[in-house]
Structure 1
């Protein structure tokens, strides 16, 4: 009986630690996307020019997309600290949207896009690997 309680406590500690780590990484990814959005809206010259890109938007349009996703990812990351199932679902959805947006904007800022995409993959893994 005591052994089963210890196993359950160990699993709960692991689950809360994994979700907390995913929350912090999602907060970081959201902050990076928010900063990227601000840079793009301000039309910073750090972005590459891609004349023949299929998903070409103006840098300002990408900026607003990344700014909105960054704010939503920050809110989702904060919600993850509640350890609620709905927060985990929202976190996975937000990380997935960040991956898609950063994939589509790779030509504009490749290293930043790949960094945020990798962070979001860890967030999805961390939120999906935890059992109830």
Structure 2
């Protein structure tokens, strides 16, 4: 299997992972907003933010990730670029979320790394037969 085939399959998988991880982040955001005492960080955490703020961050990033994940099935360049940007934002947010949910954050960061690779590696190979390239 060549790299292009892997990237196309990876991009389709990345689209589904963005949808699923985005839905999970929406749920985490709702949990942080509704039941903030569920999440506890240590006293020595360098990035001290209000949990309600984090709830909104996860809710917004998750909702955008779901929408971008569905748009990746169009094969458009803008969807891939936006997917990479959303995955980078998700990585940064989850890095700062590490003290609250370390295993969750590490898992989402790993998924985001794969999403970025597959969206960057696919190029114009993710096109339907009669689809014109974006200009």
Shared fold per TM-score greater than 0.5: yes
User: Which of 78, 91, 116 is matched with 1:124 structurally?
Assistant: 116
Instruction: Give unpaired runs (5+ residues) of structure 2.
Output: 125-135
1:45 Cα deviation (Å)? 4.0
Name the residue aligned to 1:67: 59
User: Which of 104, 112, 129 is matched with 1:112 structurally?
Assistant: 104
Instruction: Give unpaired runs (5+ residues) of structure 1.
Output: 1-9
TM-score, length basis structure 1: 0.84
SS of aligned partner of 1:130: helix
* RMSD between aligned residues: 1.9
Task: Give the aligned length.
Answer: 123
Which structure has the bigger radius of gyration?
1
For residues 13 and 125 of structure 1, do their structure 2 counterparts lie closer, same or farther at Cα, with a shift above 3 Å needed? Answer: closer
For residues 90 and 112 of structure 1, do their structure 2 counterparts lie closer, same or farther at Cα, with a shift above 3 Å needed? Answer: same
Name the residue aligned to 2:28: 36
Say whether 1:57 aligns with 2:53: no
Structure 1: how far apart are the matches of 2:114 and 2:4? 20
8 A Cα contact 2:36 2:52, kept in partner: no
TM-score, length basis structure 2: 0.82
1:38 Cα deviation (Å)? 0.7
Structure 2: how far apart are the matches of 1:46 and 1:120? 25
Find runs of 4+ consecutive structure 1 residues off by over 3 angstroms: 10-16
For residues 65 and 22 of structure 1, do their structure 2 counterparts lie closer, same or farther at Cα, with a shift above 3 Å needed? Answer: same
